[in-house]
Amino acid sequence: MKITAIPHFEGLTVQDFLDYARKKPSLLKFLPDERDWERLEKHWICDLLYTLDEEGIQGMIDEALVFRKEKLELSRDLTIPMKPEFIKAL
């Protein structure tokens, strides 16, 4: 599944995307100087990074979605305990 808009989830902030770019020098050359990063819009950063590294950014999004789902399941008590023999059968 491809995401066309970046959701506002924990782990998908502007800082998270910029930290990801810091780890990959090939992406840094397309971003302005670090002192100008505070003025960048999330939409622009995500479009740029997704265009340059679709697999990596999609991975970040997928991880955030899984984390959010797990967090919601725990907070809303949506998990159902299963008997060990049923787990084995699966």
* C-beta of residue 15 within 8 angstroms of C-beta of residue 49: no
The model's pLDDT over 40-65, given as tens digits with 9 standing for 90+, comes to: 888 889 899 999 999 999 999 999 98
Residue 24's pLDDT band (cuts 50, 70, 90): very high
* Residue with token string 């740029």: 48
Q: What is the mean pLDDT of residues 15-42?
A: 90
